[in-house]
Structures are given as structure tokens and as C-alpha cells.
Chain A
């Protein structure tokens, strides 16, 4: 390879050679008009042609063809308006002649052409398809030419583009010289010398993630919004609008997030107001709703105007600050955790000092289901150990086990237990179960979420303060505040003081306090000590997040989770690569702390648990339900094998970019999806029993709308079906699951589906049946999917053809690519 490189650099390449790989046949290169460099339409080892690689990475958008190409020196532009942005350009044909013309998608091709016009805008097709210019516009370099070209890895391309931003004339050779500068952060370790080293490693990673999160969220500012106004029952203004950027899926807008809304028109004075998000897009509507905070300029809210408005995300550093603070107190405060926990967290070998907690006579708890053997075993082994891990595969009763453990810990240790999970949903679920056991529970929520309804609202701290009327003065002040909307400065001070006192009293008297991991850093808990901590879903939290509840004096820690299901979401790739995506649970497992596994699953029909058990749990998962209990004879559905409610329905339709251009969709799979759902409806299955999982937002909204237009049953029924990403279904179950894979292409991967843990979650949500829609040819290239397809094939559950006449499919699988770990 070194030799080839030497020969290549000796020859002078023409100026129009591809700046990446050197290919220079005139019909295969185009010039970028922003930087005057040339790029070819070969793909090298990447999923996109070099020119598209460059345009996307450099954010350049205009190109020109080579003078000796068949079209001559042509700048690609809209015939009508002259725009040169190739991401907007496509072509349309004349209705009755073999003439085509380039036109931009918006606005020129967006106008329908009437009958008497010469051109047919309805047949607009983009110039960029499958991440390359159409081959008749820029041809693909010959195989021989590609073999001879310089082979660049995608990372090198990325690096080169970075360097060009500073030094536009740099070449690949310069890059190789200057290499060795490594700006990647220090990766996480398995063991740490001390808590300072721990902080020195994780601190920068949290900072990188925080900076990235901020940039990402703040870039979500959006102009040109149209607002629908409402007046809430709590006499606050509600603004409803659609945020198109959400479809990118980059930013997960969450209930409780803060946004600033601004009126930017000319018709009245400018205005701005801040509010919390109270609704995000769902099946009912794609709108976001924010509730404006009450404030001095309430009268000035421009509710008579619908546009133009702008919205900005108001970024909060809170969660990151709390992580940093937790790591700091771990390092400097000797009382933050016990000596034993301290050393175990750092990966040191220390002898376990068994706790003197007495064991209960009965392990099952009033108000909660009876425990099975493996659950009893888990509870028993946890109570006397200062540190334990419980692994709960899907459907194995993790929450009940956790609630039972919390009950015993609270009763036996006689001190308060702090119970956390990374997400609010998980905390609410566990809170509800613990409440059923009869313990005194308080659910602490962030102030921004106090108005969010949940099944445990009555257990929340603010609600308990509200219904507690022992303090007459506080009751009076609240009434006054509710009536007037605000209090005098002095009364407000008094009101705050009394509220704080009431909160403290309720917290002090609780047996158990439940909150998110980040919530454990709430100032209202700052003075409390929690020697016993349980973290549920701990495998979904980044390590520094888990530290927040620990540094309040932890002596006994129970981590519950499943490292075979989805891990924490880390947005910044550098931080993720450095190991921030690894949970504390996982690191402890690697350090040799064996988790106690709950191994009886009560969710899935045994045929559905077989593959996940073998693939992800060494075949250890037993079935706590029988085939008979999970068969619905009265549900008439064409399962290929009557007693095995599973099928992989071959769909060879193409994926495409969604209408907004920001995501993927697959029409044939969406059509198939509607047919399956209609069949289920006909068989008497209700919408709430069905879940549709699809990894792409584009497909989600396409499925929702195509069920609306094509479904043969009542529209409301289809509306009530939950269509969401794998991530949204983690921790939950449905009777029937339809999985639409979407991706079906030759050059790009299968995106999110490539993650084994995501596949595990997708396959383990259903109790009574699973239908997978996908392209076996494409999916079988991936080793894991290859296994899955073989599994379905061997059980005669791989089918094709119309739903009314499904046939066993004999489609040839592709050879799986080697997997690298």
C-alpha cells in the first residue's frame, strides 16, 4: 500500500481529480462551487458517494458539472427560480415529450400542474438518490478506476473535512504527516486509584456531553411557527405549535423542558414568554404544547396572533451540574459513601462485611404478588449484602422484586430508603408498587413537572403538602395566592418558608423517598442521609448519573437492571466512545460482581422467548407461562404455524426519505402494517393491546397517517394504537407487536437496528404474538439478524405473499458480514 501511495503521488493528478480519492474521469466528477474542489461519484468504503460526503460534511450545496462531461459545463440549478441548492433539486418530465427539466422541490415543484400545462410536477424526482447523484447526471466511476483510487476510511474523510475548515489547501498527505494529535478524551477505566482520578476521568466526559447537549438543544430554535392559543383551566396560556425539527429525532423534547416563545412579526410590538412543555407529539396530534409561566406581562400575550412566532429551547445545566457535584462530593466528602462502597465503586477488592440485617420470615409482601423461587432468592441475597446487582430480563417481575426488596429494607433496617431510576416513568411505576405494600412513600418531582399527571400524583411531595392542612397559616396563604394570582412580597416570603417547612416534615416522616437519579440532587434532599439506596433500571443511567443518589451517605446499594437491554442515551459520540455509555452496573459486572438473574419470564408465549433467551441470556430464561395461556384461539390471524404466534413477513419495498426529508419511511411496510392491524381488529383485538415498533420517526408518522387513510375500520381505532420507537417501549408490554424495520437498501446500513440490545427489547415486548416486517435480503447481511431470520425460517414462520394467502418464503439470505467487536 505504501508503494501504491508513492507511485500515485509521483504522477500529477489533473486539477479536477476527486479531492478525496483522485478519480478524475470527467463524467464522474463534479465541482463544488463553494470551495472549488472536485469530487467523484464513487463511494469508496462509505455509504455515500464522495461528492455527497463532501457536501454534507462541509455543508456546501452547489455544484457544477465538468466541461467535458456529456452535459458540458452545467451548473445544476432550478430552471424556474435559479436556486442551486442540490438538496432541493430534482427533475420533472414534460407530459408528452421526452424532455426533462431541473426544478426545485420547494416552491417550484410544489405547485400542482393543471391539466393544460406541458409539465408534470407530480412526477418530481430528486437528483440525489441513495446518497449519490443520479447516474445519468454524474456517472459512477468504473470498477477499474475505483480499484486504482486512493482508499480513504470514513474517519480520514471526516478528519480531512475538519482540516479544510482551517486550511482549505491541505491534502490527504498533509493529514498523514500531522497525524498523532489525538484530541479524544481519556477513556473510562475499569478500576480507579481514588475518587479524584474517578472525577478526573468522568468530569471531562460529562462536560463534553453537557456542551454537546446544549449546542444541540439550542440549535433547535425555530422560526416561522404558527401558534394555536388556548386558555388552560389553571388560567395559564397554552401555546400549541408544530416543531418540524423534532422529526430529526436528535433532540428528545420532553415534558417539563423549558422553551421561550417569541412574537417576531411587524404588526404589533415584539413579545416573549417562557413556559414548560406539557405535551409532545403523539398519536393524537403532532403538536407541541407549552404552558406559559404566569408573569408580569400576562396581559401582553399576543393570543390574537397566530404567526409569525419563534421558539427557542431554554437549556438547563441542572442534571449535568448535579453529576459533577456528586463526583466532587464522592472525592472530597468522606461521609458521602461508606468505606466499603467507596472501594467497590473504584473497583478495589475489599472483603464484604455482611450487614447485620435480620432476615424476614416471609419474603412475599402484603399487597404485592407472591414471589417465585428466583425472585425469593434475589430478595434474600440482597438484604444482607452491602452491594448487589439484580438482572431482570424482560417480563421477569423486576419491579415487583424491587418493591419487595424496598419493603424489607425499610422494615428491617429501620432507616429511610432512597429509591431512584433514571426515568420518571420507571420511578412512577415503582412508586406505585411500593405504595401498595403499605409503606409511607413520597414521590419527589422536579418543580417543572408538578403539573404533569401520573398514576402517583397523590403521592407527590407538592400534592402531599397541598392536602396537608395542619398549618392554618399556610392554608390561608395558599387560598389567597390561588385567588389573587400573586402575593405581596412579604406574604410570598412567608408562604415559601412555610412550604419548605411542610415539605421537610413530610420527607422526614416517609419510609421511602422516590425520585429520578437526577432528582436525588434536589436541594430539598441536601440535608438528608440515605444509607440504603435502590436504583431501578440502573443500566439505563450513565455512571455519573448513578452517583447522584449514592453520595447522600450510601452504605447499602442495590442496582437493578439488565445490561442486555438498552443502555443510557449519550448524545455526544466522543463521550460515548470514551465509555460514558457504559453503566455502573455493567462495569461492576465486568469487575466480577455477578448479578443475580431473575430467570422466569411471565410475559411472552414460549415461542417468543426462545430466541431472546438463547441469544441474550445463555438459554437461561424459563417460561412462567404455558403455550395454552398465551394462545388466543378466538383471534383469527393467519399465523403460519397455528401454535406459534410469530412470523417474519417478507417485504421487499424500498425505503425512502420521508416527506420532510428528515427521516426514512417504507411504503410497502406501512401498507402491510395497516393490513395486519385491520386483520387484528377484525379478529376482535382492541387497539390498546397492539403496539407498532419502528425505529424511524418518518415511518412512525407515515404509518399513523396511512392507517388513517387506508384502514377499513373506524379511524378512532387506528388512532388509539401506539406507534413508537423501540426506546419508547422499553420496560413495557403489549399483547401483539408489529415491528416495521424500514431500512431496505444496498449501500447504507440498517441504522438503529444494528444494536443487539435494541433488537432484544423489540422482540420481547409481546405476550401473544409478533409480526416482523422487513427485507430478509438486506437484514441477513447482519450476523444477528441472520440468526433471527434462520430461526424464523427453521420454524416455518418466514413467509411472503398477500396476507390472505401467505406462503413459506424460500428467499435466499445474504452472506452475513463479519462482525467486529
Chain B
């Protein structure tokens, strides 16, 4: 097959450094503008998933099941089969005052996915 590649063009190191600085400045200003913002503890409950509500297994209070374990997802529309190299998470967002979740796919070698898998395995072993 033909491999296209764009020509590696010359980049002006000075312009790059300028941009770097601008970027850094924006970051710094953003952070600084929030320095005196009142701190509140973030502790919203986890979204209730249909799978958890479904009375399949009695859970002791406070324990939340792994929604990603496949056979949990019985009521939801048939989930797409786990693609290789992908781990599905839900992103919790707000619509008005209502919680909603959206599926997102993280590469399974991302730090997040790896940490989650390690944790799950550790818990399974217990």
C-alpha cells in the first residue's frame, strides 16, 4: 500500500517557544484567578446505574458493583461488545440539575484503565 506522509516542515523554534510561553501564561493565569475561590469538598453520589438497581444480587449498603462486568448490563440496550484495546467508562455530566452519564471509550493502556483493571483484579482476588 502507499504510505502518504506529510513533509516534515521546518518549525521556527523561536515561534514555538513563544507559543509555549503564551500557553503557559494562560495556564498560570487560569490557576491564579482561582486561588482565592472558596474550597468545597466534591462528594456527589455515584450515578445509579440500572444494573445496580436491578435486584439481581443483594448488595450490602455502600458497596457498588462494577458496572463494567459484562453480565451486569442486562437492562441497558445491548452493549456493544468490548472492543479490544478499549475500556468503556461513563462520563458523569449534568443536564440542568439532572445527572446523566455518557459512555466514553478509553484506550485500555491509558493510566486510568490500567489502574482500574489492577484494582478490579486485586478485589477479585480478595
Contacts and interface: CB of A to CB of B under 8 A. Distances in A.
Contact of A662 (B24, B67, B94): B24
Given A94-B46, A111-B42, A136-B104, A100 B92 contact: yes
A131 interface: yes
B21 A117 contact: no
A136 B91 CA distance: 11
A107 B37 contact: yes
Given A99-B89, A100-B91, A106 B37 contact: yes
A98 B66 contact: yes
A662 B102 contact: no
Contact of A98 (B12, B30, B68): B68
Q: Which of A660, A662, A754 has the most CB of B within 10 A?
A: A662
Contacts of B24: 248, 657, 661-663
Given A80-B40, A113-B43, A749-B11, A660 B89 contact: no
A116 to B, nearest CB: 9
Contact of A45 (B11, B66, B115): B11
B70 to A, nearest CB: 12
A820 B18 CA distance: 19
A97 B23 contact: no
Interface in B7-44: 8-28, 30-32, 34-44
Contacts of B67: 97-99
A121 B31 contact: no
A245 B28 contact: yes
B54 interface: no
A71 B91 contact: yes
Interface string B101-126: 11111110011100110010000000
Q: Which of B14, B26, B90, B105 has the most CB of A within 10 A?
A: B26
A88 B31 contact: yes
Given A136-B105, A143-B4, A111 B66 contact: no
A154 B11 contact: yes
Contacts of B66: 96-98
Contact of A123 (B39, B41, B101, B115): B115
A98 B89 contact: yes
Nearest to A782: B13
A56 B43 contact: no
A248 B21 contact: yes
A529 to B, nearest CB: 41
A168 B41 CA distance: 41
A56 B23 contact: yes
B31 A79 contact: no
A111 B39 CA distance: 7
Interface in A245-270: 245, 247-250
Interface residues of A, number: 84
Nearest to B91: A100
Contacts of A657: 24, 27
B43 A107 contact: no
Contact of B39 (A79, A110, A749): A110
Contacts of A123: 112, 115
Contact of B16 (A79, A101, A137, A748): A748
A102 B88 CA distance: 16
B45 interface: yes
A61 B22 CA distance: 13
B28 A97 contact: no
A655 B24 CA distance: 14
Contacts of B12: 154-155
Given A136-B106, A248-B28, A817-B8, A103 B42 contact: yes
B16 to A, nearest CB: 5
Interface in A42-89: 45-48, 52-53, 55-57, 59, 61, 70-72, 74, 79-81, 83, 85, 87-88
A303 interface: no
Nearest to B33: A85
A245 B35 CA distance: 14
B34 A71 contact: no
A314 B118 CA distance: 56
A98 B32 contact: no
Contact of B31 (A118, A158, A660): A660
Interface string B55-87: 000000000101110000000000000000001
A56 B19 CA distance: 8
B93 A102 contact: yes
A117 B43 contact: yes
A56 B112 CA distance: 27
A131 B11 CA distance: 16
A661 B36 CA distance: 17
Interface string A742-755: 00000011011011
B64 to A, nearest CB: 6
A125 B67 CA distance: 22
A281 to B, nearest CB: 16
A146 interface: yes
Given A102-B91, A661-B28, A752 B17 contact: yes
Nearest to A143: B4
Contact of B6 (A107, A109, A151): A151
B115 to A, nearest CB: 7
A118 B68 CA distance: 17
A754 B68 CA distance: 47
Nearest to A659: B31
A244 interface: yes
A224 interface: yes
Contacts of A748: 16, 20
27 contacts: A57-B19, A57-B22, A61-B30, A74-B102, A79-B92, A81-B37, A88-B34, A91-B91, A97-B46, A98-B67, A98-B87, A99-B46, A99-B89, A100-B89, A100-B90, A100-B104, A102-B91, A106-B37, A107-B34, A107-B40, A121-B42, A136-B105, A136-B107, A153-B9, A154-B11, A154-B15, A748-B16
3 nearest A-B residue pairs (beta carbon):
A661-B27, A106-B34, A87-B30
Given A101-B93, A113-B41, 18 more contacts: A55-B26, A57-B22, A59-B26, A72-B102, A81-B40, A88-B31, A98-B66, A99-B89, A99-B101, A107-B34, A131-B23, A137-B104, A224-B32, A245-B28, A660-B31, A662-B28, A663-B24, A751-B16
